[in-house]
Amino acid sequence: MASGRNGTLYIGVTGDLVKRAWQHREGALDGFTKRYGCKYLVWFEVYDRIDSAIRRERQMKEWRRAWKLREIEEMNPDWHDLFPTLM
């Protein structure tokens, strides 16, 4: 999730991407994404196993910001909100 192009980034893992992205967009839960306005789904990966997803999340949280931006821009160069594509 992001607050906008090159804005604040949030990385997380969930078993229900549609529900979780909606919660972030609507500010339904208090926390980091609500405080920093991270409402746009700009990147995601899908995994068959939760342990693989958690491992990747932990790995990416250690990354430099430039690496995260590059990863987003490879998938979504214009930083479009991908939430509508999930429906």
pLDDT digits (tens, 9 = 90+) for 53-76: 999 999 999 999 999 999 999 999
Q: Note whether 30 and 76 are within 8 A (CB).
A: no
Strand, helix or coil for residue 2: strand
Give the C-alpha separation, 64 to 69, whole Å: 9
pLDDT number for residue 24 = 97
Measured at the alpha carbon of residue 77, what is the angle toward residues 86 and 25, in degrees to the nearest 5? 40
Residue 25 pLDDT level (bands cut at 50, 70, 90):
very high
Q: What is the pTM of this model?
A: 0.93
